[in-house]
Amino acid sequence: MRLNKYIAQSGIASRRKADELTIAGNVKINGTVMRKPGYDVVEGDIVEVSGRKIEPVKKLIYLMLNKPKGFVTTVSDEDGRATVLDLLTDVSERIFPIGRLDYNTSGLLLLTNDGDLAYRLTHPKHKIYKTYRARVNGIISDARLAQLRNGVDIGGFVTSQAKVKVLKGTAHTSLVEIQIYEGKNRQVRKMFASVGNKVIDLERVAMGELYLGRLKEGHYRKLTQEEINYLKNC
C-alpha cells in the first residue's frame, strides 16, 4: 500500500498532508526516516509518524459539526487556542477536519478518520460547492455581484465563477449567499473585500447536498449512511 494511503487510513491526515509529513522527515519506516511519499508499505513494516506507531483504523467515523467562532480548524494549535476537537467530548477515535473554516467563521465542518474521503473532498478536481451566508457592510450593487460571479483577483489568484445572490438588504448591510468550490485561505472574505464590501459575519451552511439544518452551534452529529455514500460518489 502506498505510504500516503497507509497514513491516511490510519486517521492521521489526508493523503496530501501525509505527503507533506513524509517530505518533512516526520515519517519513519522500520526506524529509518522515509522521505519518499511513493514508498510502498508491505506486511511487517513498522510505520511511525512524529514518533508514534500507526496502523490503519478499523472503524471509520464521519461527523458534521456546527463550528462556533473562536475555534481553530486544526488538530492542535501552537498558540494554545481552542480547536474544533475540543468540542467533540465523547469521541475517542483520532479524527481530523476535512478542509478548514477561519477562526471567526462559523458553520458546517466535516470531520473524519477516513483519509481517502478527506483527500477526495479537498482535491481541486472535485468541484463540490460550499454554500456560505455572509453579512457584509453596505449595499452590494449588481455590478459587484457580477464581478463576484465572474471571478475576482484576491491577491495573485483569480477565483472561479461563483453563484451569488442577495437574500436581504438594509441601508447599511446586505445578507448574501455565495457558493464556491475552491478553498483558498479566507477566500470568501477576500472576494467581498475585493469589490468593496467588508464581511461582518460569515457562516457556512452547506457542503454539496449536505446542509447544516437545525444542528445547534457547538453541537455535532454522525453522518447518515446516505450522506456518506453521497460524499464518496459526488
**Per-residue CA distances from 229 to 37, 46, 97, 112 (Å):** 28, 32, 18, 14
Q: Report how far residue 131's alpha carbon sits from residue 5's, in angstroms, rounded to the nearest whole number.
A: 29
230 within 8 A of 169, measured Cβ to Cβ: no
188 within 8 A of 158, measured Cβ to Cβ: no
Residue 231 in this model has a pLDDT that exceeds 90 = yes
What are 55-104's pLDDT values in tens digits? 887 788 999 999 999 999 988 888 889 999 999 988 888 888 998 899 99
* Mean pLDDT estimate for the chain: 92
Angle between helices 187-194 and 142-150 (to 10 degrees): 130
Architecture of the domain whose range is 3-54: Roll (3.10)
Q: Within a 10 A sphere around the Cβ of 208, how many other Cβ atoms?
A: 17
Pick from 148, 224, 223: nearest CA to 188? 148
Pick from 27, 31, 2, 33: nearest CA to 12? 27
For the chain, what percent of residues have pLDDT higher than 90? 69
Question: Which range, 58-62, 126-130, 189-193, 230-234, is most confident?
Answer: 189-193
CATH number of this structure's domain 130-207, picked from the four choices 3.30.70.1560, 3.40.50.620, 3.40.630.10, 1.20.120.160? 3.30.70.1560
Q: Give the cell for residue 129.
A: 460547492
159 within 8 A of 180, measured Cβ to Cβ: yes
Confidence band, pLDDT 50/70/90 cuts, at residue 118: confident
The pLDDT value recorded for residue 82 is 93
The pLDDT value recorded for residue 165 is 96
The pLDDT value recorded for residue 65 is 98
Residue 146 in this model has a pLDDT that exceeds 80 = yes
Residue 5 in this model has a pLDDT that exceeds 80 = yes
Helical spans, DSSP H, in 175-224: 187-194
Domain boundaries, the chain: 3-54, 62-125+213-233, 130-207
Within this chain, domains 62-125+213-233 and 130-207 share the same CATH topology: yes
Give 116-179 as a DSSP string: HHHHHHHSTTS---EEEEEEEESPPPHHHHHHHHH--BSSS-BPPP-EEEEEEE-SSEEEEEEE
Q: Report how far residue 179's alpha carbon sits from residue 134's, in angstroms, rounded to the nearest whole number.
A: 11
Mean pLDDT (whole number) for 113-141: 88
Q: pLDDT higher for 54 or 57? A: 54
pTM: 0.80
Q: Report how far residue 206's alpha carbon sits from residue 131's, in angstroms, rounded to the nearest whole number.
A: 5
The pLDDT value recorded for residue 93 is 82
What are 172-215's pLDDT values in tens digits? 999 999 999 998 999 999 999 999 999 999 999 999 999 999 99
62-125+213-233 belongs to CATH 3.30.360.10: no
The pLDDT value recorded for residue 172 is 93
The phi, psi pair for 168, rounded to 5°, reads -160, 145
**Which residue out of 90, 102, 153, 201 is catalytically annotated?**
102
Residue 79 designated active-site: no
